[in-house]
Amino acid sequence: MSERELLHTDRVLVVEGKYDAAHLSHLTDAMILLTDGFGIYKDKKRQQLLKALAKKNGLILFTDSDAYITGLVGAENVVQAYVPAIHGKEKRKPQPGKEGLLGVEGVDDAIVLQCLRDALGAEAGAAPARPEGRQITYTDLYNWGLSGTPGRR
């Protein structure tokens, strides 16, 4: 998929893990943040970041239906993208998850893109191909204490 075919949104995608983020990163130019599963409950800095980004840009939750994040940032700032129930296991895993269903990382690109378009509705692709300003770097994440510091990955 070439760069000009990337799905664009100013909303921030929120996913559970790094494999989900890696899959989405070649499908969209959106900012992608991780919850690290249940780690979000104790991570006050990440909660503040989510609140600020939700207010400024809005969020797309590409997680299990997440009432916690929605309650944290306000339902008016959130759209939910849902992966359809597809039985299987991710290639990197030796066995399927507890429910036996694929997550974001294991679903075909076309399905993931359709899920995002469905969640965005009229917003899908309506914005310019490239957001203005600079990209967030790993150095930014380190400086903000979100990555590469004790207790972070």
| Residue 2, pLDDT score | 44
| Residue 3, pLDDT score | 44
Residues of the chain with pLDDT under 50: 1-4, 127-130
| Residue 126, pLDDT score | 52
Q: What share of the chain is helix, strand, coil (3-state, %, to 5)?
A: 40, 10, 50
| Residue 1, pLDDT score | 45
Query: What are the angstrom distances between the C-alpha of 31 and each of 9, 24, 55, 99, 131?
Result: 9, 10, 15, 29, 10
Place of tokens 């694929």: 102
**pLDDT tens digits, 93-103:** 888 778 888 88
